[in-house]
Amino acid sequence: MEDRRFVPRYPLKLSVELLGAHDERFSAQSHDISLNSIGLDMERTAVLGLAQSGTQLSPGDSVVVMVNGQGDATITLAGRVRHVRRLSHEQYVVGVWFVDPDPIGEAALENLVEQARQGHV
């Protein structure tokens, strides 16, 4: 499979909270991050619960990703699902593309990506 990424990804293992279109909240685990996307490991309940256009989360669905940054600061970024891949009956890998972060969110994301690049997160 050809890698079509435009910006590098870095390993990032953090707990993440996802907010769906109807204010549903679900937990996930990040596995990597870049300046424009995040890779998440998710359980089946989250993939089903965050679904908007069908029975499970699908490309194009909107989510809000909340990541704990430095200290107690939470980085909140709007995103769209790029892909959903089923690993097992209960485990999925989901890619989320960040959509137009505001300047504060963008600066916080850049800081988090830099920490991940240096292996500090």
Say if 1 falls within a structural domain. Answer: no
Q: How many CB atoms lie within 10 A of CB 111?
A: 14
Say if 18 falls within a structural domain. Answer: yes
Residue range of the domain that includes 30: 10-117
Query: How many domains are there within the chain?
Result: 1
Q: Give the CATH number for residue 44.
A: 2.40.10.220
Say if 31 falls within a structural domain. Answer: yes
Mapped onto helix, strand or coil, the DSSP state of residue 104 is helix
Residue 8 C-beta-side C-alpha neighbours within 13 Å: 8
DSSP code per residue over 79-94: EEEEEEEESSSSEEEE
Q: What is the mean pLDDT of the chain?
A: 90
Task: Return the structure tokens found at 33.
Answer: 């991050």
Question: What are the pLDDT digits (tens) for 51-75?
Answer: 987 889 999 999 999 998 666 678 9
Question: What are the pLDDT digits (tens) for 27-54?
Answer: 999 999 999 999 999 999 999 999 987 8
Question: What are the pLDDT digits (tens) for 20-29?
Answer: 877 889 999 9
Burial 72-82 (b: 16+ CB within 10 A, else e): eeebbbbbebe
Say if 4 falls within a structural domain. Answer: no
Query: What was the pLDDT predicted at 71?
Result: 64
Question: What are the pLDDT digits (tens) for 2-21?
Answer: 556 578 999 999 999 999 87
Say if 61 falls within a structural domain. Answer: yes
Say if 86 falls within a structural domain. Answer: yes
Could you tell me where the DSSP H helices lie in the chain?
A: 44-49, 103-117
Say whether pTM exceeds 0.75.
yes
| Mean per-residue pLDDT, 106-114 | 93
Say if 5 falls within a structural domain. Answer: no
